[in-house]
Structure 1
Amino acid sequence: MAREQKAKAKTEQAKGKAKEAAGRAVGNERMTAEGRAEQSKGDARQAKEKTKDTFKH
């Protein structure tokens, strides 16, 4: 389960970066903001998984 969540975090981060870059390229502020939000969500998920790993060992 942890690997699945870590992979999901990485995917969210990558999608967010792509969306943010696309938003900047076309000048769409909303898309840029959504990309940043997805990245933040991925960062939070990754931090949660790292915390769980720390307490596991």
Structure 2
Amino acid sequence: MTEYKKLTETAKNLEKIGFFRRAVTQWRKAAFIADSEKKQEACIAAIKRCSGYPKRSF
């Protein structure tokens, strides 16, 4: 398994359990080592998604 794949799997698992800030860290590392622009864009989208959590409505 590649380092990129390990990082993305870890990030996805962290997202599932609600550790969004930690997931962002993993997504950033994955984006840095991504070997294609498409993978990098997917990581950036995930970073944006995780950065918006938790969404609170007061």
- Higher-helix-fraction structure: 1
Using the size of structure 2 for normalisation, the TM-score is: 0.48
Q: Which has the higher contact order (CA 8 A, sep 6+)?
A: 1
Using the size of structure 1 for normalisation, the TM-score is: 0.48
